[in-house]
Structure 1
Amino acid sequence: MMLQMISYAIIFLVSTLILKSILSFTRPSKKLPPSPLALPIIGHLHLLGPHMHHSFHKLSSQYGPLIHLRLGSVQCVVASTPELAKELLKTHELTFSSRKHSAAIDYLTYQSSFAFAPYGPYWKFIKKLSTVELLGSRTLGQFLPIRTREIHCLVKFLKEKSRGGESVNVTEELLKLTNNVISQMMFSIRCSETEGQAEEARTLVRQVTEIFGEFNLSDIIWIFKNVDLQGLRKRFKDIHRRYDSLLEKIITDREDVRKEKKMTNKNGDDDDHEEEVIDFLDMLLDVLENENSEIQLSRDHIKALILDFLTAATDTTAMAVEWTLAELINHPKILTKAQNEIDRVIGKTRLVEESDIPNLPYLQAIIKETFRLHPPIPMLARKSIQDCEIDNYIIPEGTLLFVNIWSMGRDPKVWEDPLEFKPERFLESKEKNVSSGVNNIDVKGLHYQLLPFGSGRRGCPGISLAMRELPTTLAAMIHCFNWKIDGDHHGVVDMNERPGLTAPRANDLLCVPVARFTPSNLDDI
């Protein structure tokens, strides 16, 4: 009986394979973009190293700017030119409006993430809520004292270290600053004042971005779907448990405060009629409690949204400042030129302010040049919701799209001397870049050779916050201090990357700050 069943199974399998072969000859196949030779089961996985954007860059240089890859069971295309990026992200924006998912993403975000949600009513509602309420100009203006205070605290800390010639872990200090800013905007808690929670929150943020960027064989090779080969499932379940516990306490504490406040107002004891700056958690809880809301949020939605914004606004902004400072240390002439510009515009009496940034074009050019060479998220990932034709090639529905912005930043057809750190390329000058009008390029997603915040509907909603916080922090650090590398590194910062969804430096940046001057307004906030 058993042998008979095995025989039937073999006959069925062989018949299926024969039928598929016949259909493939009788039905015209779709013309996919160029592709390397794939291996059975694993496809092109053997061609990928720990840094996917590096591997894709190498493959694109061999097979062309638009290539097709099969990563296990998952079909992918990789685009590596501004022209293709524009066609895919603008002309066919709705076709590629979805995001890739993984077991880690679904589990850690309660399947309720804004960042990974499909383009639809929920996504549109949260996009509007975040861009208008949390990240709109009015709210960002109200939170200006918080950003200013955090920069002042950082400068004071660095000042103390400089007096003793002590080394500073710049990586950790920048993470503290960005984490303090977004946590106060999200739920009015300055994490550094609760150091145990702060350390846990920063650790969780880093672990989340790391695990989101790792390839899980169980996601992409169907025969391993229920096998935790790499131990990733165990890791992301542990992260989720710790994160959920942290957020549950924060939300519960806030609900208690809201109940107490409602009782006070009901009893007529509230005499304070000043305009209150409410944080994002209160906004979300207002929606949660509103039965007539356009979208009904759950507690899991709130936790997922907080995770979205904490990870997006902590790691990437701190990383961008760190990369920029590292490049300036490695290019002392550029650092001196930037310091001279700040000295000329601001002087050596007060600390730089956000309102000063438009008057510092060289500083802005330095940041653009860093984004070109070290985009915080090196590839934009999308997923097609229908078939699409690009350059006479068909990209089937359900295909993952990777736009390799890291690769575009190193393309000699787009940039002159692409491997050189040269901020002057973004300034008006007689020296013209290969890409015409390069000095007019901004980072808002309209110039496809420079997309640090993405483009279109799915572009980063936090661009306004980042472009206030990032240049002001950097300006304060190089205005008030010179920087010496800690240890025997011949004064040169190691510029290797660490794998992950983002592309941080491989090792923490350890430096000794050397004071240039002490701002007179350091204690004003």
Structure 2
Amino acid sequence: MISSFAVFSFLFFLSFVLISLFQLSSKKSKKNLPPSPPKLPFIGNFHQLGLRPHRSLQKLTNEHGPMMMLQFGSTPVLIASSAEAASEIMKTQDMSFANKPKSSIPSKLFFGPKDVAFTPYGEYWRNARSVCMLQLLNNKRVQSFSKIREEETSLLLQKIRDSIDNSQVVDLTELFVSMTNDVLCRVALGRKYCDGEEGKKFKTLVIELVELLGVFNIGDYMPWLAWVNRFNGLNAKVEKVAAEFSAFLEGVIEEHKKKKTEDNDEGGDFVDILLQVQKENKSGFKVEMDSIKAIIIDMFSAGTDTTSTLLEWTMNELIRNPKTLRKLREEVRLVTQGKSDVIEDDLEHMPYLRAVIKESLRLHSPVPLLPREAIKNTNVLGYDVAAGTQVLVCPWAISRDPAIWENPEEFQPERFLDSSVDYKGLHFGLIPFGAGRRGCPGITFAKVVNELALARMLFHFEFSLPNGAKPEDLDVDEALGITVRRKLPLLVVATPSF
């Protein structure tokens, strides 16, 4: 028979548990969470993302506000779609949001990951980024590659001339991808990999790498569905690309090691520089083989797609806006009057060119969503954000915010002519490359390539659409990967300017 003491003890314990649960629930309910649209069991808000998540999130933001909490499977995700929210996350509380969400595909492709873009915040990341900023992408180093940029943009011009001679339509998308890939090959690896089977294989690897980085991996948000990737071939493809890129870069690194040239602080490609850093080990940062490979792959994944995409969208908008195109061409010719070509020194005297590229970046942010992760519990603009919450800052939505930009859907470079606003991470209404600790370290490198290629093309050629199509009929559909590209290749007819 149960004693009255046992019954009393049980009731006391039950009361204690219920009171504790009530207090916990009450405490939780006092948290001020961002607004959230209705969600479904298990999948959360996945069904609301659609085929173009950046556009879907902009629409949800218009309904629920610039700070919004979504649920992707089992993961809470904070959406930040205002300049004020971006500034708070990437500047005021940059340290609290310095982490990147863990993702299984980049972890495999970047050997850990051991790169800069996807590696979690910590000592390794700080050291790796320092090497990139101080050794690979500093202003002096970027200037040292001017000959490479001039030679590769000259080859771009020659390919356009060849198409004219053969009465062919010019595929600018293909030419931009090829040029940026060749520039990066020479800068990072010491030579181009564009001919024969070797070149074909390397180009395929880069394309596959960029495609995989844009794949949504359901297993990262719904671990109970991770098995799907074993059956749909995703895991196998990731492992294949990682293994092939690893083997290719190991061959490149061995080639560099066998060279009997003397290391020089002024010369050498990225592999040479990283091998020298590894040899000297001055900072105490152990640069392992996987680190070298991961950092080099970073350069291709971040540099090729974003640079070619920006050039593509800029030419797209210039063709759609003939008055802007004429105005920019007039500036290029005025600055280069009496010269046979554009050189990098001329770019400093082309403010409208810079305005055109800024406006292109505003209207077509190459990377529409910038992921972060909260390191600790914090409060952002009055809302409580728990440690481990994923964050998506939305530069695409911010740069189309009518509270910041007049006529935000229109291409108007003139808005930047008398403005100090830039895209280097200091003005949070325009952050196509991010900001703060996790901002892109290669902005300066990409800037010169874009400006030189665009100025030289407009100096030498006139462009129109094939088959007499009108500028306003130009297709602007988007294809989404790690960047937002045109869905279809940009095909034009080129004619010599002189």
Using the size of structure 2 for normalisation, the TM-score is 0.91
User: How far does residue 196 in structure 1 lie from its aligned partner after superposition?
Assistant: 3.2
Aligned to 1:386: 376
DSSP-derived class of the 2:484 partner = coil
**Do the aligned partners of residues 398 and 19 (structure 1) sit closer, same or farther apart at CA in structure 2, a change above 3 Å counting?**
farther
- Alpha-carbon contact 2:396-2:432 (below 8 Å) kept: no
Selected match of 1:443 from 408, 411, 423: 423
User: How far does residue 230 in structure 1 lie from its aligned partner after superposition?
Assistant: 4.6
Matched, 1:113 2:94: no
- Alpha-carbon contact 1:165-1:513 (below 8 Å) kept: no
For residues 357-378 of structure 1, the C-alpha deviation after alignment (integer angstroms, 9 at most, x for no partner) is: 1211111111111000001111
What one-letter code is carried by the residue in structure 1 that aligns with 2:25?
F
**Do the aligned partners of residues 19 and 43 (structure 1) sit closer, same or farther apart at CA in structure 2, a change above 3 Å counting?**
farther
User: How far does residue 19 in structure 1 lie from its aligned partner after superposition?
Assistant: 11
- Cα distance in 2 between the residues matched to 1:18 and 1:217: 37
- Cα distance in 2 between the residues matched to 1:400 and 1:92: 15
Matched, 1:370 2:360: yes
Aligned 1:135-174 pairs, distance under 5 A: 135-174=137-176
Selected match of 2:439 from 436, 445, 459: 459
Selected match of 1:473 from 443, 449, 453: 453
- Cα distance in 1 between the residues matched to 2:475 and 2:352: 24
DSSP-derived class of the 2:492 partner = strand
Matched, 1:183 2:185: yes
For residues 308-332 of structure 1, the C-alpha deviation after alignment (integer angstroms, 9 at most, x for no partner) is: 0111111111111111001101111
User: How far does residue 122 in structure 1 lie from its aligned partner after superposition?
Assistant: 1.9
Selected match of 2:304 from 314, 337, 354: 314
DSSP-derived class of the 1:504 partner = strand
- Cα distance in 2 between the residues matched to 1:275 and 1:298: 21
Aligned to 1:400: 390
- Alpha-carbon contact 2:96-2:374 (below 8 Å) kept: yes
DSSP-derived class of the 1:514 partner = strand
Selected match of 1:501 from 482, 487, 493: 482
User: How far does residue 89 in structure 1 lie from its aligned partner after superposition?
Assistant: 0.8
- Alpha-carbon contact 1:210-1:502 (below 8 Å) kept: no
- Cα distance in 1 between the residues matched to 2:455 and 2:461: 10
User: How far does residue 450 in structure 1 lie from its aligned partner after superposition?
Assistant: 0.5
User: How far does residue 484 in structure 1 lie from its aligned partner after superposition?
Assistant: 2.3
Aligned 1:184-333 pairs, distance under 5 A: 184-192=186-194, 194-228=195-229, 230-257=232-259, 261=260, 277-290=267-280, 294-333=284-323
**Do the aligned partners of residues 63 and 276 (structure 1) sit closer, same or farther apart at CA in structure 2, a change above 3 Å counting?**
closer
Selected match of 1:356 from 346, 359, 373: 346
Aligned 1:35-50 pairs, distance under 5 A: 35-50=36-51
For residues 417-437 of structure 1, the C-alpha deviation after alignment (integer angstroms, 9 at most, x for no partner) is: 111111111113xxxxxxxxx
User: How far does residue 249 in structure 1 lie from its aligned partner after superposition?
Assistant: 1.7
- Cα distance in 1 between the residues matched to 2:200 and 2:493: 23
User: How far does residue 18 in structure 1 lie from its aligned partner after superposition?
Assistant: 9.6
DSSP-derived class of the 1:78 partner = strand
* RMSD across aligned positions (CA): 2.2
For residues 331-385 of structure 1, the C-alpha deviation after alignment (integer angstroms, 9 at most, x for no partner) is: 1111011111111111264211111112111111111110000011112111111
Aligned to 2:11: none
- Alpha-carbon contact 1:216-1:230 (below 8 Å) kept: no
Shifted more, 290-299 versus 470-479: the winner is 290-299
Aligned to 1:511: 492
Shifted more, 503-512 versus 116-125: the winner is 116-125
Aligned 1:77-156 pairs, distance under 5 A: 77-111=78-112, 112-156=114-158
Aligned to 2:25: 25
**Do the aligned partners of residues 23 and 217 (structure 1) sit closer, same or farther apart at CA in structure 2, a change above 3 Å counting?**
farther
**Do the aligned partners of residues 122 and 455 (structure 1) sit closer, same or farther apart at CA in structure 2, a change above 3 Å counting?**
same
- Cα distance in 1 between the residues matched to 2:488 and 2:423: 27
DSSP-derived class of the 1:286 partner = helix
**Do the aligned partners of residues 245 and 18 (structure 1) sit closer, same or farther apart at CA in structure 2, a change above 3 Å counting?**
farther
For residues 63-91 of structure 1, the C-alpha deviation after alignment (integer angstroms, 9 at most, x for no partner) is: 00100000001110011111111111100
- Alpha-carbon contact 1:143-1:185 (below 8 Å) kept: yes
- Cα distance in 1 between the residues matched to 2:458 and 2:282: 50
- Cα distance in 1 between the residues matched to 2:372 and 2:463: 39
Percent of paired sites with the same residue:
35
- Alpha-carbon contact 2:111-2:294 (below 8 Å) kept: yes
Shifted more, 220-229 versus 476-485: the winner is 220-229
- Cα distance in 2 between the residues matched to 1:67 and 1:446: 24
User: How far does residue 494 in structure 1 lie from its aligned partner after superposition?
Assistant: 1.3
